[in-house]
């Protein structure tokens, strides 16, 4: 299957986000009287995230971050504890990402890498979903994500990301070639232990 390099970026970011969900934020009960439910506390495990021209850290205070974002972006209320960040130029207004807060502190950040349409983008998304969901269907095993530039020569670059499971590897190779054009190859390999 062939698809433009730019069309792959969103799909890959969604896959990586799905694999990393839950790593950045934890909830821990704070000491409170027994008749009141404990309030969740934001615990930052990841150091930083750069989105909307702003360095963000989980656990940051809500009001100063919202004020900073409003200097250069439109913010749309996404409910009780969240904001969608949009570019000011529009319509249409391009989504940059979103931020979420718990108890006045930054608890989630989502960056929009792009939005793609068309039959090839949809087919690639379906193939990736089918392939990666088979990994999720297996009993809980650690999945290691490995990214590398496997070829970098004049006229050709191959960037590869691998999802390594105990006996299965899923690889996505993005080729940029002056001679043969740009392409994406998705591969699944099963190997004996």
- For every residue of 72-130, DSSP letters joined together read HEEEEE-STTEEEEEESSTTTTPEEEEEEEETTEEEEEEE------SHHHHHHHHHHHH
Residue 14, phi then psi, degrees to nearest 5: -65, -45
pLDDT-based confidence at residue 83 (cuts at 50, 70, 90): very high
Q: pLDDT-based confidence at 69, cuts 50/70/90?
A: very high
- Domain ranges, ordered by start, for the chain: 5-17+117-190
* Per-residue model confidence (pLDDT) at position 47: 55
Percentage of residues in the chain with pLDDT exceeding 70?
72
Number of helical H runs and strand E runs in the chain: 3, 12
pLDDT number for residue 75: 93
- Nearest of 81, 74, 126 to residue 99 by alpha carbon: 81
The model's confidence at residue 129, banded by pLDDT at 50, 70 and 90, is confident
Cα–Cα nearest to 96, from 50, 44, 48:
50
Query: With bands split at pLDDT 50, 70 and 90, how would you rate the model's confidence at 80?
Result: confident
């Amino acid at each position: 299957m062939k698809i433009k390099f730019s069309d792959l970026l969103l799909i890959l970011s969604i896959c990586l986000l799905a694999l990393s969900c839950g790593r950045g934020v934890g909830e821990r009960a704070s000491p409170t009287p027994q008749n009141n439910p404990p309030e969740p506390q934001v615990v930052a495990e990841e150091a930083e995230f750069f989105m909307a021209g702003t360095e963000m850290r989980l656990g940051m205070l809500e009001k100063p971050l919202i004020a900073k974002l409003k200097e250069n972006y439109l913010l749309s209320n996404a409910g009780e504890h969240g904001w969608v960040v949009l570019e000011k130029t529009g319509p249409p207004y391009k989504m940059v990402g979103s931020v979420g807060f718990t108890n006045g502190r930054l608890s989630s950040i989502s960056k929009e890498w792009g939005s793609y349409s068309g039959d090839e983008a949809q087919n690639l998304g379906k193939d990736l979903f089918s392939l990666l969901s088979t990994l999720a269907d297996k009993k809980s095993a650690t999945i290691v994500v490995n990214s590398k530039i496997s070829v970098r020569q004049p006229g050709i670059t191959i960037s590869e990301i691998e999802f390594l499971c105990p006996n299965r590897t899923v690889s996505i190779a993005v080729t940029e070639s002056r001679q043969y054009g740009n392409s994406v190859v998705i591969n699944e390999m099963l190997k004996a232990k």
